[in-house]
């Protein structure tokens, strides 16, 4: 052991260095947040509670009941019930999301060909019964009005309803037909 090492050992140099560092942090601004009083705004596109897109033209849901979101869902939490309407069109009778089963992967958003389903950034919801987390069609439309109405919804779909043509390179059309036949 050299003299230098001995001095370091006797005078606790490495421990004092560590203490100096923590002391410095005592005078720097706090990085923590006092959560319930001080809330953090989630980033746009943050995956929280579900919402059904309300079509501004008709005032009803955009969803046509094709059931692709339910087919894509890995946790099988979307339930859709449809019937035939007066003009032989499909009518969505019930559209229900069991939020307690959901894993918030947002694959349903990608599966929807119409862009009729989004995940809102709303994350603070709690309740005492399971029924509160079984979101029916009306409640899902309500979520859209509450959290995504206006430019927010359009921005979300622009950014996260993908893939779009711009994400692909030059694609030869014959490839596409080959893919469709498979």
Partner 1 sequence: MEKFSEGPGNREETSRLSSNGLTLNIGPQHPATHGVLRLVVDLDGETIVKCTPYVGYLHRGVEKLSEHRNYMQILPFTDRLDYVSAMSNNIGYCTAVEKMFGIELPERTEYIRTIIGEMSRIVNHLLWLATHALDIGAMTVFLYCFREREKLLDLFERLCGARLTMSYTRIGGLKNDVDEQWLKDLYEFTDEFPMRIEQYETLIDKNRIWLKRTKGIGVISAEEAINWGLSGPTLRGSGVPYDIRTDMSYGVYDKVKWQVCTGKNGDVYDRYRVRMEEFRQSNSIIRQCIDQIPEGPIMADAPKFTLPAKDKVLSDMEHLIHHFVLVTKGPQTAPEGELYVATEVPKGELGFFFVSDGTGKPYRMRIRSPSFVHVAALPRLCEGELIADLISNIGSIDIVLGECDR
From residue 54 to residue 93, the character string flagging contacts with partner 1 as x (rule: CB under 8 A) and all else as - is ------------x-x--xxxxx------------------
**Phi–psi pair at 139, nearest 5 degrees:** -65, -35
Contact flag: residue 147 with partner 1 (CB under 8 A): no
Kindly state the greatest CA–CA separation across the chain: 96
For partner 1, give the closer residue by CB, 132 or 154: 154
Minimum separation from the CB atom of position 174 to partner 1 (A): 10
State which of residues 36, 59, 150, 179 lies at the interface with partner 1 (CB under 8 A). Answer: 179
Secondary structure class of 119 (helix, strand, coil): strand
How does DSSP assign 60-108, residue by residue? SB------HHHHH-TT--EEEEEEE-TTS-EEEEEEEEETTT-----HH
CA distance 103 to 30: 33
Contact flag: residue 105 with partner 1 (CB under 8 A): yes
Q: Which residues bind partner 1 (CB under 8 A)?
A: 9, 14-15, 17-18, 21-22, 31, 42-43, 45-47, 66, 68, 71-75, 103-107, 110-111, 113-115, 119, 159-172, 175-180, 182
């Amino acid at each position: 052991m050299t003299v230098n090492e001995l001095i370091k050992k006797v005078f606790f140099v490495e421990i004092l260095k560590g203490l100096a560092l923590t002391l410095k942090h005592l005078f720097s601004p706090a990085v923590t947040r006092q959560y319930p009083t001080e809330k953090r705004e989630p980033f746009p596109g943050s995956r929280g509670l579900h919402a059904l897109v309300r079509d501004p033209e008709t005032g009803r849901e955009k969803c046509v009941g094709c059931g692709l979101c339910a087919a894509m869902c890995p946790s099988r939490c979307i339930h859709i019930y449809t019937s035939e309407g007066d003009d032989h069109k499909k009518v969505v009778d019930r559209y229900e999301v069991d939020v307690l089963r959901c894993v918030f992967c947002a694959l349903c958003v990608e599966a929807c060909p119409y862009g009729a389903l989004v995940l809102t950034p709303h994350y603070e919801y709690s309740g005492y019964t399971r029924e509160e987390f079984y979101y029916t069609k009306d409640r899902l439309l309500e979520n859209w009005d509450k959290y995504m109405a206006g430019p927010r919804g359009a921005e979300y779909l622009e950014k996260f309803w993908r893939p779009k043509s711009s994400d692909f390179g030059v694609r030869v059309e014959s490839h596409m037909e080959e893919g469709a036949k498979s």
